[in-house]
């Protein structure tokens, strides 16, 4: 159970199979986000059709509504949502932190006001683990604090040390053997704090590790060195999960640096706003050009929308405020990200990841590949020199 | 082409096959409404999966946005919407009438202000036919006036006579032989005016006839005698279409009276409002009871929602304002109406329509079957006595 078997390596990038109780996941993988027990607008059958392998659920939202006990009465998230494959739940920590002034952090846990009815709720490592056991995902996450950006060094240090004490408490109360508990490495964009968090976290030998605390407001130039530094120091034989990150360019850069799992609301959210992801960048379907274009969003895409609809039709649906518009754009965008990781996996297996990623980026960024992306790609090519080279992780503090 | 072949009769109820250029339609049939080129929230594949046979498009909406020329550039509604089966378009008349003070009727046609940009548009029999030819449905409707309810007898009379002159003009400009033009019988709830409209209309020998001018505000007690009177006097060998009518009880009563085609926005609209159609009546999924019910909406239903979801899950989606809720309730409601006409067809074929309809009504109306429904069912049982009996159509005026 939870075996992680690497199949191909190409620089730091790798493909693997991750065995979960509800099936094997081919990594690298992008996980659609089903915050409230549904990937917005998309049915489980459609998720299977487009190649989704693992779905994320949000502990914070589900514990407040409908409550984890109702989900448990359905046999957990698979029974509740009718998605039959593997699930991952977050710990609720990140969402609670993002409530800002509405919450208070102590050693015990986090006290916050429900966004639904304003009631006072406390989330602790024990409670988060209890809720996640009731939700029944294959992978559950340790309850952590994700400090805001920017934050003082000393705050980040204290926070990551408390996160370790919380990890200890999650471990102590966890009862289900059919769930893997992943620990989360914090430390902001500071290599020494990342190293400290790694030192404290890795001793727990959890079946997988997440890179947390990123994509919270820092620039890509700050974020990717931290990803490179952390990913390179996580155990080779366990899955690495970059939390809450999933724009197309993030997937390619993250894969280059040895990340295996990604999740993000971006594909469905940007779809609801009328944007379509393509190899040529993000297509604004709200603009006037698509209204008369009789080609699909993406001629290479095999999603239902691209096989059946013209851009003109989808642009019409958007203007007419028809529900089918956000549904179809969300479906296409999810399929785009799934295809992107499928292509990355194929390139890694063929030993052509670097040229593939470079060619993808040249087109996607219209020959203006940003320096942060190029640096990530370069760092990813140098698997053997990780420990010596700190180029990818300059000391920011 | 457009052959209408009756297979079974049971009282006035009948089953038939209606041949269209895009395939055979088994009648009685309920047609989902795709006002703006999509059945709200539902994909063409889902329509096929739930047994939809023919879809309605609205000329008024589509001519204003995206404009019929863009639809024509896609090869008509099947290419535009990706629904591969037969279509029917209305003439735009009914929708223009419902604009109320924003429109003006003359012998030439109707002048109105667009609900989208306020521009002045004129819709005439010639223009309606031109637009419907561009939209390319299998069945197109004659441009008619549907008077409001209540209206003066003399107004209804003048209006139905003008509707005949408009029918003549539609006929004169129609060019496509792969489209059937259906005429519309008007006359409000007045038997003598219905008879006048029938006399004037039937001479056109169109491939099908619609019963128009009903479900515009009159009571069921006034409406159903008019349906009974009109349906009984339409040609036996051609399809009869009761326009804009399609609550479950309307389908059963209409079928009893010999109606073959129905359409209504009701199943998708009430679904978006959180209501689910069942043999036990309309289930309010917004109420508190479903929130903890672990059974499907309808254990007898084979739709995706009933095969995969509990009421508790769907009630959660509604409270969470998730897009999947209106999508799944719309899908279920459409499937419910399709199953209802399938069961009616089977009962007609078995010669058991009357007891089936009675049993259905006892459950649906919870043993309080309304008099109008019982009268419609009784009238439908007396096929041979149609001309002598005016019981079902008392002179209202």
- Say if the Cβ atoms of B37 and A320 lie within 8 Å: yes
Could A74 and B317 be called an inter-chain contact, meaning their C-beta atoms sit closer than 8 Å?
A: no
What is the rounded CA–CA span in Å between residue B358 and residue B340?
13
Q: Is B90 a catalytic residue?
A: yes
B390: pLDDT strictly greater than 50: no
B353 and chain A in contact, CB less than 8 A: no
Among the partner residues B40, B45, B324, nearest to A322 by beta-carbon distance: B40
Catalytic residue among B10, B138, B263, B298: B263
Residue A183's contacts (CB-CB under 8 Å, 6 or more residues apart) are A142, A167, A201, A204, A206, A209, A210
Q: A42 — contact with chain B (CB < 8 Å)?
A: yes
Q: What is the rounded average pLDDT of the residues B210-222?
A: 96
A96-150 tens-digit pLDDT: 888 877 889 999 999 999 999 999 999 999 999 999 999 999 999 999 999 999 9
For A80, the closest of B37, B38, B313 (CB atoms) is: B313
A93 annotated binding-site participant: yes
User: What is the CA B137 to chain-centroid distance, rounded?
Assistant: 15
Coil, helix or strand for A256?
Answer: helix
Mean pLDDT estimate for chain A = 95
Q: Searching chain B, which residue's CA lies closest to the CA of residue A84? A: B308
**pLDDT at A387 > cutoff 70:** no
A98 touches A141 (CB < 8 A): no
What is the 8-class DSSP label of residue A310?
Answer: -
Residue A393 has pLDDT above 80, yes or no: no
Facing residue for A41 by CB, picked from B73, B310, B324: B324
Q: For A66, list phi and psi in degrees, rounded to 5.
A: -85, 5
Tokens of residue B289, six digits = 């009871």
pLDDT of A97: 83
- For residue B112, what are the β-bridge partners? B103, B121
Confirm if B183 and B210 have CB atoms less than 8 A apart: yes
Mean pLDDT, chain B, rounded, equals 95
Is A303 marked within a binding site?
yes
Q: Which of A375, A386, A396, A384 is nearest to A232 (CA)?
A: A386
pLDDT tens-digit map of B221-277: 999 999 999 999 999 999 999 999 999 999 999 999 999 999 999 999 999 999 999
Whether residues A327 and B327 touch (CB distance < 8 A) is answered with yes
Contact between residue B335 and residue B301 where contact means Cβ atoms under 8 Å apart: yes
Residue B384's pLDDT band (boundaries 50, 70, 90)? Answer: low
More confident residue, A387 or A216: A216
- Could A308 and B44 be called an inter-chain contact, meaning their C-beta atoms sit closer than 8 Å? yes
Q: Do B317 and A41 touch (CB under 8 A)?
A: no
The DSSP line for B232-252 is HHS-TTS-EEETT--SHHHHH
Contact criterion met (CB below 8 Å) for B301 and B332: yes
Other beta carbons within 10 Å of B209: 25
Residue A44 contacts B where some CB pair is shorter than 8 Å: yes
Residue in A with minimal Cα distance to B311: A80
A262 has binding-site annotation: no
The answer to whether the Cβ–Cβ distance between B324 and A70 falls below 8 Å is no
Name the catalytic one among A10, A138, A260, A263: A263
B36–A313 CB contact, under 8 Å: no
- pLDDT for B385 equals 46
Collapse the DSSP code of B151 into the 3-class scheme (helix H, G, I; strand E, B; otherwise coil) and give the result.
Answer: coil
B215 closest CA partner among B252, B190, B250: B250
pLDDT at position B396, please?
42
Q: Which of A273, A289, A292, A381 is nearest to A330 (CA)?
A: A273
Q: What is the pLDDT of residues B279-337, one digit of tens each?
A: 999 999 999 999 999 999 999 999 999 999 999 999 999 999 999 999 999 999 999 99
CB contacts of A308 in chain B (<8 Å) are 44, 82
CA distance linking residue A175 with residue A182, whole number of Å: 14
Mean pLDDT score, A346-374:
98
The answer to whether B304 contacts chain A (CB < 8 Å) is yes
Half-sphere exposure of B66 (CA within 13 A, CB side): 30
Residue B146 annotated as lining a ligand binding site: no
Residue B183 pLDDT: 98
3-state percent helix, strand, coil for chain A, nearest multiple of 5:
45, 15, 40
Mutate to test the interface with A, among B39, B43, B314 (most CBs of A within 10 A): B43
- Indicate which residue of B90, B250, B260, B298 is catalytic: B90
- Geometric angle at alpha carbon B227, from B226 and B232, rounded to 5°: 105
Phi, psi of B8 (to 5 degrees): -140, 145
Query: What does residue A270 show for φ and ψ, rounded to 5 degrees?
Result: -70, -30
The CA distances from residue A117 to A36, A128, B292, B313, in Å, are: 16, 20, 19, 20
Strand partners, B9: B14
Residue B325 token pair? 């809720």
Marked catalytic residue, from A10, A90, A138, A250: A90
Q: Do A66 and B312 touch (CB under 8 A)?
A: yes
State yes or no: is A49 an active-site residue. Answer: no
CA angle centred on A112, ends A108 and A116, rounded to 5°: 145
Structure tokens of B203? 């001479």
Nearest to A73 among B42, B61, B294 (CB): B294
Confidence of residue A384 (pLDDT cuts 50, 70, 90): low
Residue A131 structure tokens: 């809720």
CA dist., res. A351 & res. B35, Å (int): 51
Question: Does A327 sit within 8 Å of B41, measured CB to CB?
Answer: yes
Q: CB–CB of A324 and B43 under 8 A?
A: yes
CA distance B67 to B65: 5
pLDDT reported for residue B96: 85
> What mean pLDDT comes out for the span B114-132?
95
User: What residue spans of chain B are helical by DSSP H?
Assistant: 44-49, 59-64, 68-73, 77-81, 93-97, 125-135, 153-173, 191-202, 220-233, 248-256, 266-272, 304-308, 311-319, 324-350, 353-364, 371-381
pLDDT in tens, B18-63: 999 999 999 999 999 999 999 999 999 999 999 999 999 999 999 9
Q: Are B141 and B133 in contact, with CB atoms under 8 Å apart?
A: no
Question: Do A152 and A170 contact (CB within 8 A), yes or no?
Answer: no
pLDDT at site B100: 75
User: A308 CB near a chain B CB, below 8 Å?
Assistant: yes
pLDDT at B97: 83
Which of B37, B310, B320 faces A36 most closely, judged by CB atoms? B320
Backbone angles phi, psi at A294, to 5 degrees: -90, 5
Domain definitions of chain B by residue range: 4-264, 274-351
Task: Summarize the confidence of residues A344-348 as an average pLDDT.
Answer: 98
Please check if A79 is assigned to a binding site. Answer: no
pLDDT per position as a tens digit, B141-197: 999 999 999 999 999 999 999 999 999 999 999 999 999 999 999 999 999 999 999
Which positions in chain A touch B42 (Cβ < 8 Å)? 324
Model pLDDT, residue A388? 39
Q: What is the pLDDT of residue A324?
A: 98
Which numeric CATH code is attached to A4-264? 3.20.20.105
Q: Determine contact: B65 vs chain A, CB below 8 A.
A: yes
pLDDT for A102: 82
Contacts by residues B369-374 (CB-CB < 8 Å, ≥ 24 positions apart): B370/B220, B371/B221, B372/B219, B372/B220, B372/B221, B372/B223, B372/B224, B372/B253, B373/B220, B373/B224, B373/B249, B373/B252, B373/B253
């Amino acid at each position: 159970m939870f075996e992680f078997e690497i199949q191909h390596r190409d620089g730091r990038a790798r493909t693997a199979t991750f065995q979960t109780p509800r099936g094997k996941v081919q990594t690298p993988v992008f996980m659609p986000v089903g915050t409230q027990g549904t990937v917005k607008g998309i049915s489980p059958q459609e998720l299977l059709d487009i190649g989704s392998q693992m779905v994320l659920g949000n502990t914070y939202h589900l514990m407040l509504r409908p409550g984890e006990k109702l989900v448990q009465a359905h046999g957990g998230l698979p029974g509740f949502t009718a998605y039959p494959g593997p699930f991952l739940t977050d710990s609720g920590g990140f969402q609670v932190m993002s409530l800002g002034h509405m919450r208070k952090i102590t050693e015990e846990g986090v006290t916050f006001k429900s966004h639904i009815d304003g009631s006072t709720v406390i989330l602790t490592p024990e409670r988060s683990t209890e809720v996640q056991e009731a939700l029944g995902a294959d992978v559950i996450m340790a309850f952590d604090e994700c400090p805001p950006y920017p934050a003082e060094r000393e705050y980040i240090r204290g926070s990551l040390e408390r996160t370790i004490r919380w990890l200890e408490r999650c471990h102590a109360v966890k009862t289900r053997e059919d769930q893997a508990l992943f620990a989360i490495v914090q430390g902001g964009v500071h290599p020494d704090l990342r190293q400290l968090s790694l030192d404290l976290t890795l001793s727990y030998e959890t079946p997988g590790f997440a890179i947390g605390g990123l994509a919270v407001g820092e620039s890509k130039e700050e974020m990717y060195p931290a990803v490179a530094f952390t990913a390179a120091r996580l155990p080779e034989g366990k899955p690495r999960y970059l939390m809450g990150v999933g724009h197309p360019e993030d997937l390619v850069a993250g894969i280059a640096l040895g990340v295996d799992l990604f999740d993000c609301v971006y594909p469905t959210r940007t779809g609801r706003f009328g944007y379509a992801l393509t190899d040529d960048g993000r297509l604004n379907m709200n603009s006037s050009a698509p209204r008369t274009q009789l080609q699909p969003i993406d001629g290479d895409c095999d999603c239902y929308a691209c096989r059946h609809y013209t851009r003109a039709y989808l642009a019409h649906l958007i203007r007419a405020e028809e529900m089918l518009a956000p549904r179809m754009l969300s479906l296409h965008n999810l399929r785009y990200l799934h295809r992107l990781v499928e292509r990355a996996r194929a390139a890694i297996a063929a030993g052509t990841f670097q040229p593939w990623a470079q060619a993808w980026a040249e087109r996607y960024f219209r020959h203006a590949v940003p320096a942060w992306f190029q640096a990530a790609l370069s760092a990813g090519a140098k698997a053997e020199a990780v420990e010596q080279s700190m180029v990818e992780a300059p000391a920011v503090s």
